[in-house]
Structure 1
Amino acid sequence: MKRTVVDASQLELTDKVVTIKRVTKVVKGGRNMKFTALVVVGDGNGHVGCGLGKATEIPDAIRKGKEAATKSLVTVALDENNSITHDFVGKFGSAEVLLKKSPEGTGIIAGGPARSVCELAGIKNIRTKSLGSNNKQNVVFATINGLSKLKTPEEVAKMRGKSVEEVNA
């Protein structure tokens, strides 16, 4: 996954725990319990990241997940409606998330894991559909993958050597 490096020290980040799983390993002496926390962080202004934390206690797993998420922040290209700039399909593993641009007043139409990512990224108007796997972890990673690959009209125009008006037409 291509990630843009963002300096997290200057951002006001909020975090949201998407899921906590209890993992049990059966060993000779009994069972070993550990916890895995999937955490999404964002500043509500075009920066979002997710991370996985694993520990023997839930608070430690959440803290580790938050640290991992702040290290993996991506920048999201937003338009004037606080929506994405174009439709895109994000993929991770067997999970695919369709991200559709929406007009003002639509709101966030998304399932649980994708909704968390969109809210923390600062997107106000979007429609999403989870295709393929419904595994929460893979859906979150697919959503972030799709958001990180979005391009602004200016970037597309520069890449093609045209003006923004020619690209939008």
Structure 2
Amino acid sequence: MSASKSYQCLSCRLKSSIWHNTTTTARRQFSASTPAKSRKRAYPSIKASDLKQPQFRPYTDREKKLLSLKYTPEQMQVIEAGEQAISAEDMASQGRMRDDPMRIQYLDDFSTMRPMLDRPVTEQDLQGDELVEGQNRSSRGGARQPQTQNAEAEQKEELDPHMLRLCQQTGMTKEEIRKIRVKNLVMHRVVNQTRMGKIQSLYYLTIAGNQDGVVGIGEGKAAEDEDGRRQAMMNAIRNMKPIPRYEERTIFGEVQGKVGASVVQLSSRGPGFGNRCQHLIFELARAAGISDLAARTPRSRNKMNVVKAAFQALTSQRLPEDVAKGRGRKMVDARSVYYGGQVL
């Protein structure tokens, strides 16, 4: 017969089972991640000394002869010393075209000075051009008469310094600036509370456009009515930007602009539709040379924000070239699919 086991109460059995489990099981981990020894690196660590440095091909004898024809011996010595001073690693990391937002939008040679572009135009330059132009006309037998000293003095007095500065900044003549359509859309009085009291001034929001695809908006604020209007007008002319137009009458597709709580949705329409929108967007579209347009303002209708949002929408249109490039199609296919099949 088998030997019978000694009797144990229920509490003794429970204590023995708990002690047995705690001695045989592994120690509990406080973290869910695996131990550091069992983890492996995803990529092996490589020292910088093990990496191969980029090597650039030095100048050949023929290239040095060609460079010596263009540069003096002193300049050749400077070129060779500069190449030895600059490391190949810096050339590989920095010797490329910049792609940051602060890059220049054109390629230019900064080692030369152009007289009319690299320095501001002065009154002496303008007077010199007028004198040369008058001499050329008089030599060709033109009917231009030499001006007297009184007439020249009157012309100088009539030339406003603000207008002269605007001509120099924009590159336009006084006659071209006069042909620009200018319209004041918003005008109200603002008050600045200071410790000395309330200081009142007038605020103006003005648009300017040549009615041929160029439009801009400007703001001005001054204590006097005339100063505020002139400041807003000149800022609008300075801020003029080209507006892409489809068939020179409407916009490309549907665009949306948002400034603050105001949202403006612009849609293109067929020929003869007209500008069916509120008067602020109507004046902006007419100054830009757009004749077929539909607009909606589903949210806030603050006048200043509506004008700024409409201007933002006009300048942020997606052109057919961008659509074709993004979809890998030809320009003709993109225009036929997305813009009604009318190919210019």
TM-score (norm. length: structure 1): 0.87
Aligned to 1:131, the other structure's residue is in SS state coil
Structure 1 residue 27: deviation in Å? 4.7
Aligned to 2:188, the other structure's residue is in SS state strand
Matched with 1:75 is 242
Deviates more, 1:67-76 or 1:121-130: 67-76
Matched with 1:9 is 172
Matched with 2:272 is 105
Residue 220 of structure 2 aligns to which amino acid in structure 1?
G
Residue 15 of structure 1 aligns to which amino acid in structure 2?
V
Matched with 2:252 is 85
Structure 1 residue 28: deviation in Å? 5.4
Q: Distance in 1 between matches of 2:251 and 2:194?
A: 48
Q: Distance in 1 between matches of 2:193 and 2:316?
A: 41
Aligned to 1:69, the other structure's residue is in SS state helix
TM-score (norm. length: structure 2): 0.45
* Unmatched 5+ stretches in structure 2: 1-169, 338-344
Distance 1:118 1:8, change over 3 A: farther
Matched with 1:148 is 315
**Structure having greater relative contact order (Cα 8 Å, sep ≥ 6):** 1
Deviates more, 1:23-32 or 1:37-46: 23-32
The CA RMSD over aligned residues, in Å, is 1.9
Greater share of residues in strand: 1
Match of 1:165 among 315, 329, 332: 332
Match of 1:115 among 276, 282, 290: 282
Contact 1:100–1:126 at 8 Å: present in 2 too? yes
Runs of 4+ in 1 over 4 A off after TM superposition: 26-30
Percent identical among aligned pairs is 27
Structure 1 residue 26: deviation in Å? 4.4
Contact 2:220–2:231 at 8 Å: present in 1 too? yes
CA offsets per residue over residues 49-85 of structure 1, 9 Å max, x none? 1011000011111111112112222221111160111
- Does residue 42 in structure 1 map to residue 209 in structure 2? yes
Deviates more, 1:142-151 or 1:63-72: 63-72
Residue 205 of structure 2 aligns to which amino acid in structure 1?
L
Q: Distance in 2 between matches of 1:81 and 1:50?
A: 21
Deviates more, 1:23-32 or 1:105-114: 23-32
* Unmatched 5+ stretches in structure 1: 1-6
State the number of aligned residues: 163
Bigger CA radius of gyration: 2
Greater share of residues in helix: 2
